[in-house]
Structure 1
Amino acid sequence: MSLKHYSALAIIFVFLFACCSKEDDKKEETPTEPIPLTYVSGADLSFLPFLERNNTKFYDAEGIGKNVVDIFKERGMNVVRLKLWYQPQTEAASFAEVKAFSQELKAKSLKVWLTVHYSDTWADPGHQETPEAWKNLSFPVLKDSVYKYTQRIVEQIQPDIIQIGNEINGGFLWPEGNLQDNESQFLQLMESGIKAVRDHSSTSQIMIHFAGHEASDWFYNKMTSLDYDFIGLSYYPWWHGKDMDALQNNMSSLKSKYNKEVIIAETSYPFTLGWNDWTNNIVGADEHLILPNFPATQEGQKAFLSQLKEKIKLAGAFGFCYWAPDWVAWDGPESKIGSSWENQTLFDFENMETEATEVFSAPSK
């Protein structure tokens, strides 16, 4: 074959390669539609980056060392919930940590659910401290700060679910956003965060989160002017009542009255009343339990969660999230700064998964 023929073939090859490359580029650039959630089977793994930095090891039911996310995903978990603090003193729950972890979770085809505390530290019904950097802002500037911060979250982390506040029974960003004292301002701050989500994300769904369920109708009746997707309830029997029939009835009523999907945003149950470090545990007495049905054993923990799933199903609710199933006694058996939750995790005192991890399996029809 002549040099002329070789040159002609080379030109043809380059042309075909360029066309194929362009087609490949088009395929890579074509966004894929997110898989819609039909049921939330979630775990709040906010502690996991910290635990991994401290070389905490976890094991599956066979005693094989394995990543916590992989263990729960194999059992059926489809959503991971993460708390986000504004400017925490350490990297725990910081924007950088949550963004990096969210990317890891999305690479594993898991949905990301952010609980935005709008605080530098824990926010709950008794604590809703405004971030230090926002404390002296005028109210209009505070509203704008909520908008811009929420915009940054949805643009850079792109959560599938985002909570505007965490357990905001009494409002958030106190004192300006105190629900009891400044209801109008509270609603304006909520509207600012919600508007940022709607303006900058077509996929993120919004949750409003209440701790408990007995006063939830009063609370959500005040939220009727707000544009949101999910009602989120915390349910811990020792704080929120041991009558699971009442919980079911309230979930069903909320779903019907407010036309929102209802999710148990936080729950847990102990597998023992024992201790694995010297840090005081939150649950440690029979009075905290639902007896005799659900003793503090691995079987009792699994039975409680199975019953909760059944109540969720009967109420027509949308799923649940287990809080801190990984917060084991990470700092040694004599630590006074370890875990107050190690008897409520889904890992025993050898860091091996408990029987209750089966709770993440898809619900029966």
Structure 2
Amino acid sequence: MKQALCKPLILIFFFACLVGCRKPGAEQTDDTSDPVTPPVQTVFAKGADVSWITEMEAANKKFYNANGQQQEGMALLKSLGMNTVRIRVWVNPTTGWNNRADVMDKAVRAKNLGLRIMIDFHYSDTWADPGNQTKPAAWASQGLAALKTSLYNHTTEVLTELKSNNIIPEWVQVGNETNDGMLWPEGKVSVNMAAFAQLVSAGYEAVKAVSSTTQVIVHLSNGYDNALYRWLFDGLRSNGAKWDVIGISLYPSPSNWSALTAQCLANMNDLVARYGKPVMVVEVGMSWDSPAESKAFLTDIISKTKSVAESKGLGVLYWEPLAYGNWQGYSLGAFDNSGKPTAALDAFR
């Protein structure tokens, strides 16, 4: 969006079925899924997307704790109770930010702080979200077969370089907010669900080729919209795609957060029952100048995610809380204009 250890002890349930692709809201009674879900971690992930941090530092943005003492941003978030960071990857960004070298910088810093890591592949040179899924310039003329190869190679190259630095991400997103697929037009779900499923499968296989233990996330926005999630994941399943975790974004306002978190919980429980997969809220945010409402929202969504059936609510991550001072026009961070965390982040303690 631009507007994210204990040993596994929980037994895996095994499921398998093929179903037809259904449109939003279609009913389905068969709740089985494929038998590849890895063990669910028992430590709840609390964290943040920190992808802007190096760019902010280059612009001389600094971060301070509540006492006004300057701190490195990731270390400050850890001191506030976070144990996880999320880092986005762009293919060949014109500015350089979020390219492979920048990703390595942030990932090494996170590893040295003992933070868990999620890698978020956008499969674009810039922002990928529900309204924007532009192919990288280097892939612009490619058809589906070539795109699958490029996606696979890009994924394995980034993850292999991380592995060479002794970094194994706990989670990897294959695509960002893929409500209508990715790598348009070839991978646009509303045009060709099967093609999107093939792209997801290429990403899944790439991740597993580097690390069989890393969990693969398919991520959508609007976590309150159960019809959207059923439509897309029914389609992926009926086309043979694999995934390990369903990722969710949720961005309520100070006035509607209570209703949306209730809908999100109902959606998460339905997804667990329907597909047998864990869920994870990988992006949340609210206006930085509504800290009381934001804290109430965060406290509630953390509690609700922890309450998901079968302990399959894996965690909650804030999207770019470090952004402050109207950084790139973004106002949903959780630091004030002096670079200090607001009370909103007390929810993570």
TM-score range, shorter chain: 0.7 to 0.9
CA distance in 2, matches of 1:339, 1:145: 30
1:217 aligns with 2:230: yes
Q: How does 1:313-328 map to 2 (within 5 A)?
A: 313-316=306-309, 317-328=313-324
For normalisation by structure 1, the TM-score amounts to: 0.77
Where does residue 267 of structure 1 map in the other structure? Answer: 284
Q: How does 1:296-335 map to 2 (within 5 A)?
A: 296=290, 298-316=291-309, 317-329=313-325
Higher RCO (CA < 8 A, seq sep 6+): 2
Where does residue 339 of structure 1 map in the other structure? Answer: 328
Where does residue 340 of structure 2 map in the other structure? Answer: 352
Give aligned pairs, total: 298
Query: Structure 1 residues 220 and 138, CA, compared in 2 at 3 Å: closer, same or farther?
Result: closer
- Contact 1:151–1:200 (8 Å) recurs in 2: yes
1:104 aligns with 2:104: no
CA distance in 2, matches of 1:34, 1:347: 34
Match of 1:237 among 244, 252, 255: 252
CA distance in 2, matches of 1:100, 1:58: 18
> Which letter maps to 2:272?
K
Q: How does 1:245-264 map to 2 (within 5 A)?
A: 245-264=262-281
Query: Structure 1 residues 263 and 220, CA, compared in 2 at 3 Å: closer, same or farther?
Result: same
1:172-208 Cα deviation digits (max 9, x unpaired): 0001111111222211111111111112212221000
Corresponding residue SS for 1:237: coil
Where does residue 194 of structure 2 map in the other structure? Answer: 184
1:272-324 Cα deviation digits (max 9, x unpaired): 2xxxxxxxxxxxxxxxxxxxxxxx2x222211211111221232422111001
CA distance in 2, matches of 1:266, 1:320: 7
For normalisation by structure 2, the TM-score amounts to: 0.80
Query: Structure 1 residues 33 and 247, CA, compared in 2 at 3 Å: closer, same or farther?
Result: closer
CA distance in 1, matches of 2:198, 2:260: 35
Where does residue 19 of structure 1 map in the other structure? Answer: none
| Displacement after TM superposition at 1:37 (Å) | 5.7
CA distance in 1, matches of 2:253, 2:347: 21
- Contact 1:72–1:360 (8 Å) recurs in 2: no
> Which letter maps to 1:340?
G
CA distance in 1, matches of 2:253, 2:129: 16
- Contact 2:181–2:188 (8 Å) recurs in 1: yes
Where does residue 14 of structure 1 map in the other structure? Answer: none
> Which letter maps to 1:77?
M
Unaligned runs of 5+ residues in structure 1 are 1-31, 273-295, 331-337
| Displacement after TM superposition at 1:255 (Å) | 1.3
Structure whose CA Rg is larger: 1
1:44 aligns with 2:32: no
> Which letter maps to 2:65?
D
CA distance in 2, matches of 1:182, 1:304: 36
- Contact 1:43–1:321 (8 Å) recurs in 2: yes
| Displacement after TM superposition at 1:34 (Å) | 8.3
> Which letter maps to 1:210?
L
CA distance in 1, matches of 2:319, 2:127: 14
Unaligned runs of 5+ residues in structure 2 are 9-40, 163-167
